[in-house]
Structure 1
Amino acid sequence: MADLYDDYADLAANEVEGVDYSRHSNTPAGATWSSIAIHGGGIEAGSGEMAYQVAGSRMMYYEFKGLKNTGNQDLHITSTHFDEPICVALQATALRTISFHGYTGTLLQPETALGGLDPLLRARIATALRNAGFAVINAPSEIGGTDPLNIANRNVRGEGVQLEMSRAQRQQFFPNGDTSRAMRDSGQRTAAFYAYAAAVQAAYEGYGYVSLTSINTSRYCTISAPSADVDISATVSTDKLASGGGHFMQLVARWADASNTYLARLEFSTTQTVILTLRKRVAGTETLLVQHTTDLTHAAGRRFAIRLQVSGSTLRAKAWLDGTYEPPAWQLETTDTSLTAAGSVGVRSILSSTNTNVLPVTASWGDFRLRSDRQRVFVTRSANGVSKSHSALADVRLRKRPVVAL
């Protein structure tokens, strides 16, 4: 069925805000993800409630809510035409987007059809939902969310995820399957509602955010190392192109303190070149050991993987585009005997002393792990440190260290 209104201006000229519809938004300080529902309230019942729950206090939230007793479908503006200005402005600052919708479904089966242009986040959400026991399918073309004009994709990176929850799935979220306004406004939710929201949030919690508010100031996130010989990896992105000077994103090993550590550094340069180096800091002096200019190209929000191995006196490193195959060969290898104690492992984020970006620059770290059969840890969201996270394979816990300014 065709929409009654072509765009928000057309709708606003014919409907009464506060009576027929309402708009809701929230932007927590430092939030870089958005959780939105443009067909909330009685339009696609349950979508707005889920967007609000998933956003919590950590994501930007937006909902366009239908308030009519009947005929809320008249308020439906298709995703590619949705141009309500509050939502458009919010999306213009979001790095990643989760857009919640509802559809009828064909077999009265509780399921979610996943679409959108963000393949990595889509895969993370699909895995998390399936692990929580929810059915997930690939969205058919008519609800695939692949148009760049879709509001889900109108964020900084030009790609988002669209979750189309079947009617039966949304009915599972409320007692007795009652999706009426009275039930939704009552605040009553089922265990399935909270389990679904937690699963979607798990895709977000794979990342930790470091807000770089000044140049040439280090932000370290570390945990105690199990031994002096370690093999660690993580993924990282920054939210801006480098200006004036580079963004330096680094894995650290044998970290004794800010003045003594080994580093595998990715430099996101002002020419968008990605440069990998192995370095050491000894008694506060940083020394370049070896360097490799990769064939990778930096872009705002583009995620890269980096791996550092320290074994005896041998240091090795490699980097690749996240979501692609890890290169089999090490790109850098050298030897050094300056640091021998196990110390800690972790990540370091710092801007060049010549950087001229409008601050803050946000570094997004994720998928941090010790690469062995029995040791695996994940970084969860933290302002400038690492918060606790339980390992999937071993009882390894993270602890927060203070920020060290150099």
Structure 2
Amino acid sequence: MADKYPSYAALAAAEVEGVDYTRTAVTPTGATWCSIAIHGGSIEPGSGEMAKQVAGSRMRYFEFAGIKSSGNTDLHLTSTVYDEPTGIALVAGSRRCLSFHGYAGETGVEETAIGGLDTALVARVTRALKIAGFTVVTAPSEIAGTNPLNICNKNLSGAGVQLELSRAQRAAFFPGGDLSRAMRDSGQRTAAFYAYARAVQSVYSGFGVVAQNSINVSRYCLLPAPTADVDLTATVSTDRVVTGGSHFLALVARYADASNSYLARLEFTTTATVGLTVRRRLTGTETSLGGGTITGLTHAPGVRFRLRLQVAGSTLRAKAWLDGQPEPAEWTTEVTDSSLTAAGQIGMRSILSTANTNSLPVIATWGDFLLGGPQQVTVTRSVNGITKAHGAGTDLRLAHPTIVAL
């Protein structure tokens, strides 16, 4: 059904704010993600409540809510033409956007149809919801959220995520399946409501942001290493197209001090290629031990790459791939070096080339820092044939890093 109004200006001229609809925007200090519902209230009931719960106190939050006693569908502005200025501005200042909606779906089927241009984050949200026991399907074209004009894609990275929750899924969030305004305003929620929100929030919780305010300055995030031999994995992205000189992001092992460590270093270049080298810093001199450009990988703002570094004795191996894709079987590079043997520290390093001309700061977003490698241990129950995958390794989640600018 076509929208009644072609724009927010037309809607605002005919409807009364505070009587027919409300707008709510919350921007916590330092928040870089947003959770929005542009069809909240009684337009697509349940979407606004979920967007608010997911946002919590760490994400930006916006809701356009219909509060009429009836006829709230008149307030619907399609995502690709949505031009209400407060919501647009909130999204435009965010690096990541989660946009919650409601759709009819099949009667009685609890599911989420997911889409959007941020394909890496789509994959992460999908995985988190499925692990939590929710059904997720790929959104059909009419609600896929892949149009660049969709508000979810109007953030700093030009790519967002759209979650369309079926009516049955939204009803499952409220006692008795009651989606009425009275029930929603009562604050009553089911366990499924909180489980769903926690699953989506878990995707956010594993990220740490490093603001690079100057060129040729190393910024380390470090933790004590349990042993000298380690297997490290993390995801990383930057928020700008590279200009002038490269962005360098590296996993770090056997870090003794700023002058002595091993690195698996990603390089995002001015031509959008992605390189990976294993490097040694010894008494302040950094040397590439092996590696090169990775065929098939292209850097763009917000695109996440998964990086892995394995150090065992004098053998150092590294590989990188697009986050959300299967891990390559082969290592990108494998070298030997025995210069550094002590456990030292592990972590991440972010630095900009001396030739870099980006408008500063360039933001490096690290996540999913895992000690032990990304392998899955698969257990099949012989009695019923159920197969379950369990992660191997310790998920460090960037919880208590030491941040050092050198």
Superposed displacement of residue 200, structure 1:
0.9
Deviations 1:203-240 (A, max 9, x none): 22233322223333332223333432223222211001
Instruction: Give the corresponding residue for 1:297.
Output: 298
Instruction: Give the corresponding residue for 1:349.
Output: 350
Letter matched to residue 57 of structure 1: S
Distance 1:399 1:259, change over 3 A: farther
SS in 2 for 1:357: coil
Aligned residues: 392
Instruction: Give the corresponding residue for 1:283.
Output: 283
Aligned partners of 1:238 and 1:300 also within 8 Å:
yes
Q: Matches of 1:395 and 1:323 in 2, distance apart?
A: 19
Q: Matches of 1:103 and 1:301 in 2, distance apart?
A: 28
Letter matched to residue 163 of structure 1: L
| Alignment map for 1:7-406 (pairs within 5 Å) | 7-295=7-295, 296-372=297-373, 392-393=391-392, 400-406=400-406
Superposed displacement of residue 403, structure 1:
1.8
Distance 1:27 1:231, change over 3 A: same
Superposed displacement of residue 143, structure 1:
2.5
Superposed displacement of residue 320, structure 1:
2.9
Distance 1:24 1:225, change over 3 A: same
Deviations 1:58-97 (A, max 9, x none): 2222111112122111101111221112222233333322
SS in 2 for 1:362: strand
Superposed displacement of residue 394, structure 1:
5.2
Q: Matches of 2:244 and 2:140 in 1, distance apart?
A: 45
Aligned partners of 1:221 and 1:400 also within 8 Å:
no
Q: Matches of 2:321 and 2:131 in 1, distance apart?
A: 27
Superposed displacement of residue 303, structure 1:
1.7
Superposed displacement of residue 4, structure 1:
0.8
Q: Give RMSD over aligned pairs.
A: 2.6
Distance 1:140 1:334, change over 3 A: closer
Deviations 1:85-130 (A, max 9, x none): 2222233333322111112232223322223233322222222222
Q: Matches of 2:401 and 2:347 in 1, distance apart?
A: 11
Aligned partners of 1:219 and 1:405 also within 8 Å:
yes
Q: Matches of 1:239 and 1:8 in 2, distance apart?
A: 30
Q: Matches of 1:70 and 1:352 in 2, distance apart?
A: 59
Deviations 1:302-345 (A, max 9, x none): 22222222222222223333334444433333332221012222
Aligned partners of 1:5 and 1:75 also within 8 Å:
yes
Q: Matches of 1:137 and 1:300 in 2, distance apart?
A: 26
Q: Matches of 1:206 and 1:150 in 2, distance apart?
A: 26
Q: Which runs of 5+ in 2 are unaligned?
A: 378-389
Aligned partners of 1:375 and 1:396 also within 8 Å:
no
Superposed displacement of residue 399, structure 1:
5.5
Deviations 1:42-65 (A, max 9, x none): 111111111111112222221111
Deviations 1:275-307 (A, max 9, x none): 322222233443333351333332111222222
Q: Which runs of 5+ in 1 are unaligned?
A: 377-390
Distance 1:396 1:50, change over 3 A: closer
Deviates further, 365-374 or 337-346:
365-374
Aligned partners of 1:276 and 1:292 also within 8 Å:
yes
Superposed displacement of residue 3, structure 1:
1.5
Distance 1:396 1:25, change over 3 A: closer
Letter matched to residue 348 of structure 2: V
Deviates further, 48-57 or 137-146:
137-146
Distance 1:340 1:209, change over 3 A: same
Distance 1:372 1:15, change over 3 A: closer
Q: Matches of 2:263 and 2:232 in 1, distance apart?
A: 11
